[in-house]
Structure 1
Amino acid sequence: MNKPIIALDFSSKQQVEEFLSRFNEPLFVKVGMELFYQEGPDLVRTIKAMGHDIFLDLKLHDIPNTVESAMRGLAKLGVDLTNVHAAGGVEMMEAAKRGLSGSETKLIAVTQLTSTSEEQMHSDQLIAASLHDSVLHYAKKAKQAGLDGVVCSVLEAAAISEACGESFMRVTPGIRPADAAADDQKRIATPQEARLKGSTHIVVGRAITKSENPAASYGQIKNEWSGLL
């Protein structure tokens, strides 16, 4: 079972280092836009030097040539996982994959954000399909483009596995214990639900980063995700 991915919901390198110092094991962490745009590539190198795996969550979405060039730069950082928006299309996703050529970085595509409801998708994106069908369509396009998987909610994980294969990654954000607040997420699940419904990786943020004892909270979530609880 893959380790839970901890979303580093911080705004500075100092906060990140203080948080990571509370753990005595290698972690899989997510560096998002807020953190990367303030601290830059040096933070990624620092975290890698500490022995942790990194999901660099920048959600690139631009013309194919620009995305390919950007990915060529990100490949030099040695991150383990990064992503694009599937809405950029097959050509853009293929270009992103080319940009990572020669590196071991895996590439996944964001389908629909877990903060997006079906009503919002219809009104804001003018997509007439159901949210489930939209996510599945984007997953199939990512598979066609040669990507390693997608970001989706737990609700679509099983269908994506069936359509794209068991080895196709289903990275699911919005994961938190049953007694935790939903915050700004709409399509959420517990670690146990994610395991039972076909996620290959889970992303957990505030349930760990805002905990009084992050290491203990991480351990509980990891055990639930692994089926030990």
Structure 2
Amino acid sequence: MDSGRVFVALDFDSNAEAEAIVDRLGDNARAYKIGLQLLTSAGPDLAARLAVQGKDVFLDLKLFEIPASVAAAVRAAGRVGASMVTVHAMAGPRIMAAAVEAATDFPRLKVIALTVVTSVTDDELARVGVAAKVDDQVVRLATLARAAGCDGVVASPREAAKIRAQLGHEPLIVTPGVRLASDGNADHARTAGPAEAFRAGATHIVLGRSITRAADPAAALASAFRVCFEVPRG
């Protein structure tokens, strides 16, 4: 299994904190996720530096705006050197299609549609007027995203198998909410371990505090890789 299929989430308030983890992981980590926390506090400089160093950079922007604004943000992600960028599937087909079109100038950049964030439960969907259960809503949005041309989707490990059954082997499935055996669930309501996520059909997983808050991040990542490598590719 390619170690680039495991994104380490740099959920920090400063580049200095994030760079300290990057330095400790060294060549052991090939891929990083940078989200709204670090981008808002420190900007895109670290993402650009990681891309220049040959790392895969997943910019988790969760874009949900008018088509022109989403397209502009996707192009900005491409100029930074990102390999993945997220757009909300709930934004609808026209906005997702605008993201896909904007990415065509950047051959390495994959547009990934966020379905339902991993903290959301059936009850919370109902409270915002969505009658469907989470897993049904995830599959519906994933199908919509593929029709709009997205390269893949973000969903929890719990829905990966249903997405794979519905959409086949081609689309990427990126799963946050992945936890090692010693971890709690933190903010995620729908979680699983790395081996379970890959068995269910995930192409990529995201590991955050499991690695970055460990006493020895490199050892924690190596342990996660050992678990992942035990899973045969399907």
The two structures have a TM-score, normalised by structure 2, of: 0.93
Please report the RMSD computed on the Cα atoms of aligned residues, expressed in angstroms.
1.4
1:156-195 superposed Cα distances (whole Å, 9 cap, x missing partner): 1111112112121111101111221111111010111112
Per the TM alignment, residue 39 of structure 1 is displaced from its structure 2 partner at its CA by: 1.5
Counterparts of 1:1-229 in structure 2 under 5 Å?
1-3=1-3, 4-25=6-27, 26-103=29-106, 104-123=108-127, 125-227=128-230
CA distance in structure 2 between the aligned counterparts of 1:113 and 1:43, rounded to whole angstroms: 25
**Secondary structure at the counterpart of residue 215 of structure 1:** helix
Is the contact made by 1:2 and 1:200 (CA closer than 8 Å) also made in structure 2?
no
CA distance in structure 2 between the aligned counterparts of 1:98 and 1:71, rounded to whole angstroms: 9
CA distance in structure 1 between the aligned counterparts of 2:38 and 2:2, rounded to whole angstroms: 24
CA distance in structure 1 between the aligned counterparts of 2:115 and 2:66, rounded to whole angstroms: 18
Per the TM alignment, residue 152 of structure 1 is displaced from its structure 2 partner at its CA by: 0.4
Is the contact made by 2:57 and 2:84 (CA closer than 8 Å) also made in structure 1?
yes
Per the TM alignment, residue 107 of structure 1 is displaced from its structure 2 partner at its CA by: 0.6
Is the contact made by 1:60 and 1:85 (CA closer than 8 Å) also made in structure 2?
yes
Where in structure 2 are there 5+ consecutive unaligned residues? none
Is the contact made by 1:108 and 1:147 (CA closer than 8 Å) also made in structure 2?
yes
Which ranges of 4 or more aligned residues in structure 1 deviate by more than 6 Å?
none
1:40-78 superposed Cα distances (whole Å, 9 cap, x missing partner): 122211222333210000100011121112212222111
Where in structure 1 are there 5+ consecutive unaligned residues? none
Quickly say closer, same or farther: Cα 1:23–1:108, change in 2 above 3 A: same
Moved more, 194-203 or 106-115: 194-203
**Secondary structure at the counterpart of residue 117 of structure 2:** coil
Letter in 2 for 1:16: A
CA distance in structure 2 between the aligned counterparts of 1:130 and 1:181, rounded to whole angstroms: 24
Identical-pair percentage: 37
Letter in 2 for 1:116: V
CA distance in structure 2 between the aligned counterparts of 1:199 and 1:101, rounded to whole angstroms: 24
Letter in 1 for 2:188: Q
**Secondary structure at the counterpart of residue 68 of structure 2:** helix
